[in-house]
Chains A and B, each alone.
Chain A
Amino acid sequence: MTRFIPPVLGMVLALIALWYVAVVPMNVKEVLTAAERAGVAVSPPSAVERRDMGNWALVVRNTHALGDSWSSDRPKLPAPHQVLVELYDSTIDEEVNGRRGIVKSGTLSNRSLVYHAIVTLNATFLGFVIGTVLGVGLAVGIVHSRVMDMSVMPWAIVSQTIPIVALAPMIIVVLYSIGVQGLIPKAVISAYLSFFPVVVGMVKGLRSPDAMQMDLMRTYNAPTSAVLWKLRLPASVPYLFASLKIAIAASLVGAIVGELPVQKGGLGARMLAGSYYGQTAQIWAALFVAAGLAAVLVWATGWMERRTLRKMGAKP
């Protein structure tokens, strides 16, 4: 563990430093316009000339007027600390001090990222469960039936080249128009994205017992169901968990994309709202929360994997 911490920390610090540097040229035009209005001399003086110049050239010629780069109100690229402030404001501060926060009103404020993250998580989990059950069921069918293997598997692969994420808005709007709304449509998209990795992993896992083990089952005259329960399924657990880690991240993406068209809460809705109103810090904060969620979900799946494998007697 200690082997990894210094380099990772070094990389993260380097990225943050790079970010702070990048903020200057990204925001230079807005900052210079603001400085000009405040009466500071900038070169070149007219906004039209500045529009046609490169960002770095402007930075070099106006080093004295760039103090506001890291604190401008509507930056193109917010500085890291601005994102952190926004994160604090829209989680802890909103819930503790806000008018509708959990402290004052007893329910989560619909302006806080905690609320939006929970909305997204609900859809993620429902979709993940549906996708996993479907995927495992399909894999069991594929392993046991040759005709199912030959007819379903190619189409399952083709179905993944259809960008379902592109279909998402249509599915949502169509289901909305026939009265199905809320959690289900988002979960459908999550399930679609998460079922394929599960199918592929499970098919591989269910086929992983070697010929020797299968022969042993045959000498016991074991029925197919016993082979499935006592040999194939236990043997597929490591493959299943490897797939589940991919599937849960995919279903989070599905939930977020599913929130884009119907603006009723969730991290996706939050990002789109931020993009409409030019609130970049808000988008970045939502993105960071989504990133954190993805990391926690994948880590939790990995933790469950270790626990399960240890219980099953695999090496720790």
Chain B
Amino acid sequence: MNGLSLFASWLSACVANWLFSRIDKPWVPYVVPLVFGITVLILWEQAVYKFEIPTVILPPPSLIAASFAGNLSTLWGDFTQTILKGALSGYIIGCGAAFLTALLVDRSDYLRRGLLPLGNFMAALPIVGTAPILVMWFGFGWQSKAAVVVLMVYFPMLVNTVAGLSETSAMQRDLMRTYAATWGQSLWSLRLPAALPFIFNGLKISSTLALIGAIVAEFFGSPTQGLGFRISTSIGQLDLGMVWSAILVSALSGTAFYGLVALAERRMTFWHASFRGGR
């Protein structure tokens, strides 16, 4: 394929997408990004051959796909080590602890005023920097990765949940008081539902943070498997197909993870303004 046909294929995909976007059908929002993604892959593949880019710098998608298919068992091991053991356990512990702290903070005004500025401050920190310390404390196994993830997701989750719990209006709270509702009752039937959009926002932010934390922590020491370990060792061997396969695994699991949380959000906060049609 020469440069002209490369340009032609890009142009035709462009025009196709432009035409698609004029149509008002429910399948359009799926097809347009798909065409865009496929076009990028084709251009990438062709550009690598056309300009003879060394595979060490940018391997073509076909090579990545072959390497991915050829190393499924290794990648599955890496997936369980990093995502299931490291990221997921840290995510659950961190978000759970943040939620419980938020309930505590909600009851005590002193804690709220003291902890929230600290929480905002800590959320802006490069928590990634704690990875070497935590690996030193908890060893090379998945526990240290989970600890890094806990630290990374704790404060975003806390700040969001606390903001959510104070989301109700004075009128609504007064209504609960006239019903003589206990703290638990007003929490369960008024403030938790009102906080759900915020909680899910925190959960969504945390889902990507969890992956990042688990993978970065592996650069500071890991057993002989895990996505971070695979990436750093395969770079050493200049096995770029394997590196990109590991990245593909993390991208797929990250998207799936985020998608699951977003799906749960859609099911549980269907009443919220942002889901009631329009944007």
Residues of chain A touching chain B, judged by Cβ–Cβ distance below 8 Å, are 3-4, 7-8, 10-12, 15, 26, 76-77, 146-147, 150-155, 158, 160-163, 165-167, 169-170, 173-174, 177-178, 249, 252-253, 256-257, 260, 267-268, 271-272, 274-275, 278, 280, 283-284, 286-287, 290-291, 294-295, 298
| A294 cross-chain contacts in B, Cβ below 8 A | 124-126
Identify the interface centre among B35, B219, B258: most chain A CB within 10 Å of its CB. B219
| A252 cross-chain contacts in B, Cβ below 8 A | 126
| A7 cross-chain contacts in B, Cβ below 8 A | 110-111, 113-114
- Check A150–B28 contact: CB distance below 8 A: yes
| B113 cross-chain contacts in A, Cβ below 8 A | 3-4, 7-8
- Check B135–A275 contact: CB distance below 8 A: yes
With A4-B113, A7-B114, A169-B235 in contact, is A150–B125 under 8 Å at CB?
Answer: no
- Check B17–A249 contact: CB distance below 8 A: no
Q: Which residue from chain A places its CB closest to the CB of B262 in the assembled complex? A: A157
Instruction: List 6 tightest A-B contacts by C-beta distance, closest first.
Output: A7-B114, A275-B132, A161-B254, A151-B36, A11-B114, A166-B215
State in angstroms the CA–CA spacing of A15 and B126 once bound together: 19
- Decide yes or no whether B264 CB sits under 8 A from chain A: no
Task: State the Cβ distance, A278 to closest chain B Cβ, in Å.
Answer: 8
10 contacts between A and B (CB under 8 A): A4-B113, A150-B21, A150-B33, A163-B215, A166-B250, A271-B129, A275-B135, A283-B132, A287-B133, A291-B125
- Decide yes or no whether B103 CB sits under 8 A from chain A: no
- Check A170–B231 contact: CB distance below 8 A: yes
Chief secondary structure at chain B's binding surface: helix
Please tell me the number of chain B residues within 8 Å of chain A, measured between CB atoms: 54
Task: State the Cβ distance, A17 to closest chain B Cβ, in Å.
Answer: 14
- Check A169–B130 contact: CB distance below 8 A: no
- Contact pattern, B 96-119, Cβ under 8 Å of A = 1, otherwise 0: 000000000000001101110110
| A158 cross-chain contacts in B, Cβ below 8 A | 251, 255
With A8-B117, A161-B251, A294-B124 in contact, is A150–B29 under 8 Å at CB?
Answer: yes
- Check A170–B250 contact: CB distance below 8 A: no
Give 8 A-B pairs besides A11-B114, A147-B18, A287-B126 with Cβ atoms closer than 8 angstroms: A8-B114, A26-B137, A155-B36, A160-B208, A162-B250, A166-B215, A170-B247, A284-B133
| B18 cross-chain contacts in A, Cβ below 8 A | 147
- Check A155–B33 contact: CB distance below 8 A: yes
- Decide yes or no whether B150 CB sits under 8 A from chain A: no
- Decide yes or no whether B93 CB sits under 8 A from chain A: no
- Check B128–A256 contact: CB distance below 8 A: yes
- Check B212–A169 contact: CB distance below 8 A: no
| A76 cross-chain contacts in B, Cβ below 8 A | 136-137
| A146 cross-chain contacts in B, Cβ below 8 A | 21
Q: Which residue from chain B places its CB closest to the CB of A11 in the assembled complex? A: B114
State in angstroms the CA–CA spacing of A154 and B29 once bound together: 9
| B228 cross-chain contacts in A, Cβ below 8 A | 166
| A167 cross-chain contacts in B, Cβ below 8 A | 231, 247
**Which residues of B8-66 are within 8 A (CB) of A?**
17-18, 20-21, 28-29, 32-33, 35-37, 56-57
- Decide yes or no whether B216 CB sits under 8 A from chain A: yes
- Check A286–B129 contact: CB distance below 8 A: yes
Identify the interface centre among B17, B36, B227: most chain A CB within 10 Å of its CB. B36
Task: State the Cβ distance, A139 to closest chain B Cβ, in Å.
Answer: 15
| A4 cross-chain contacts in B, Cβ below 8 A | 113, 117
**Which residues of B183-225 are within 8 A (CB) of A?**
207-208, 211-212, 215-216, 219-220
- Check A174–B57 contact: CB distance below 8 A: yes
- Check A11–B118 contact: CB distance below 8 A: yes
| A274 cross-chain contacts in B, Cβ below 8 A | 132
- Check B118–A272 contact: CB distance below 8 A: no
- Check A161–B129 contact: CB distance below 8 A: no
Which of B28, B56, B250 interacts with A163 by CB under 8 Å?
A: B250
- Decide yes or no whether B166 CB sits under 8 A from chain A: no
With A8-B113, A11-B115 in contact, is A154–B128 under 8 Å at CB?
Answer: no
- Decide yes or no whether B243 CB sits under 8 A from chain A: yes
- Decide yes or no whether B232 CB sits under 8 A from chain A: yes
Task: State the Cβ distance, A78 to closest chain B Cβ, in Å.
Answer: 10
- Decide yes or no whether B257 CB sits under 8 A from chain A: yes
Identify the interface centre among A15, A163, A291: most chain B CB within 10 Å of its CB. A163
State in angstroms the CA–CA spacing of A64 and B254 once bound together: 51
Identify the interface centre among A147, A161, A165: most chain B CB within 10 Å of its CB. A161
| A267 cross-chain contacts in B, Cβ below 8 A | 129
- Decide yes or no whether B179 CB sits under 8 A from chain A: no
- Check B247–A298 contact: CB distance below 8 A: no
Task: State the Cβ distance, B84 to closest chain A Cβ, in Å.
Answer: 16
Q: Which residue from chain B places its CB closest to the CB of A267 in the assembled complex? A: B129
- Check A165–B125 contact: CB distance below 8 A: no
| B37 cross-chain contacts in A, Cβ below 8 A | 155
- Decide yes or no whether B121 CB sits under 8 A from chain A: yes
| A161 cross-chain contacts in B, Cβ below 8 A | 207-208, 211, 251, 254-255, 257-258
